[in-house]
Structure formats: structure tokens, C-alpha cells
Amino acid sequence: MQQTYQKEILVTEPECDINKRMKLSYVMRHAQQMGSDHLLTTGIDYDQMYRDGMVFLVNKMLITFNRRPYMDEKLVLTTLPKQPKGAQFIRDTVFETPAGEKLAEVSISWMLINPHTRKILRPSAFDRYGFQMLPNDGEYITGYRIKAPLGEAVAHMRQIKYSDLDYNRHVNNAAYADIICDTIPMQVMCEKQLCRFGIIYQKEATFGQVLEMGLVPLGEDGYYIGGQVAGGRCFEAEIYFK
């Protein structure tokens, strides 16, 4: 079976922000979809996995940008699944122009869970599908950590709505990007270039819950955002600009 998967896309108008650049959330959505599309080429789909008592949930994500794609730009996306490390599945996706200019790299750590009990499954449970992966040499996402900084946080609150949810009935991983970007000062989002974003998911947020967030500046170029829901840590993220 093929170990990598590639496809071409066109950056559409609804995917872009006021500066005609692809929103962070859509970069994340395309990276997520690349994993699903790759599995589908081998006959593995969500419904089959669900019937078999397993689904993938995003555990961590780290994105580095040389620049964000522009509206109407054609892109070539290449995804590389790597062998699990511990309980973490690894998948990197590269965004490039047809001429070979590298725009962004998205590295994702996934956890295989039982959709009914929400318990983490051993990677060996996925062996039944015979899906081939690349060696995990050089991977960095499994060791990725975010350290909460000292400093006074600016408080933000956000109630979880229907449009935040996905088929797993929790806030979709990419929806957090929109929520987080809404906490960043408008001037920063409009005038600076996003160069790095990382997020670690710790607890699912579901419909009707209130997400309590704290925003702490990281020097002049970045922000730490921590989120809690139902009394527990929901996520931690960091975002940097240039």
C-alpha cells in the first residue's frame, strides 16, 4: 500500500480571512482531511472504524508557516503517516505550491480511542487494517510541550454552540483555531504574519459548556492561550507572529 498520499487543492474564498489568506482553521481542516482521504484510498473509512470500535482523535498539532496560502492559489498537499510512538500516531502534511515552494508543515499526533468508552486503545488495534506507515525517524510532535508562562492573563469566555461540533459530538480540533484567533487583538491578526501555532488537547468540550480562556502575551511576537471547561484543562496553545 502507498505510504504517502498527495492531492491538489484550490484555496477558495470562504477559506480566507480579510487579507485573503487561508485561515488557520482551514489549514487544520485540510490537514485533518488528508488523513481521512489517505485512509480511504486503502478502503478504511470512519464508519468501518467506528463499527470496529475505534476512531482517531487529534492529540497535538504543531504548524509552522513560511507564509499562509492566498485566495485562488493552487496548492499541492502531501501527507506522510509515520509509525506510532507509544500510544501516539504521527502524521505530517506539507503544503506547497505546484512550483515546489513550501508554505507550511502540519505535524499531528493522533490517539486511537474507543468511541463508546473514550478509552485510549493500543496502536496494535489498528494493525488489523494492514496500513503501512513510514519510519518515525526525525519526528518531533510526540515530544511537543507547552509551558504555561507567568503573567496576568486576559480572560475570555465562549459558550460551545452547535456549529463548533463535529461528528464525534465535541468541538472539532480546527474550531479551536477560530476560537483562539478571536482572543488575539484584531490589529495583530490583521497586520502581522502568523508563523507558528501549536495546540495540545486535554479534555473534550461539548455542547452548552462554557470555555474559560486566559490570554498571556509571550514577548512582542506571541501569545499563550489556556482553556478550561467543566473545571478541567481543555487545551493549551501558543501562537507566534512576525
Q: Are 159 and 212 in contact (CB under 8 A)?
A: no
Q: What gap in Å lies between CA 11 and CA 21, rounded to an integer? A: 9
User: pTM value?
Assistant: 0.95
The predicted-structure confidence for 95-129, as pLDDT tens digits, reads as follows: 999 999 999 999 999 999 999 999 999 999 999 99
Q: Where are the domains of the chain?
A: 5-143, 154-241
Which strand (E) or helix (H) includes residue 26? helix 24-41
Architecture of domain 154-241: Roll (3.10)
pLDDT reported for residue 151: 87
Instruction: Give CATH for domain 5-143.
Output: 3.10.129.10
CA dihedral of 33, 128, 165, 236, whole degrees rounded to 10: -80
Classify residue 95 by burial, with Cβ atoms within 10 Å: 0-12, 13-18, 19+. Answer: buried
The predicted-structure confidence for 23-72, as pLDDT tens digits, reads as follows: 999 999 999 999 999 999 999 999 999 999 999 999 999 999 999 999 99
Domains 5-143 and 154-241 equal at CATH topology level: yes
Q: Are 171 and 165 in contact (CB under 8 A)?
A: yes
Going from the C-alpha of 6 to that of each of 61, 73, 147, 227, the distances in angstroms are 20, 17, 34, 34
pLDDT, mean of residues 151-178? 95
DSSP assignment letter at 65: E
CA proximity to 63, closest of 177, 219, 192: 177
At 156, list the grid cell. 475570555
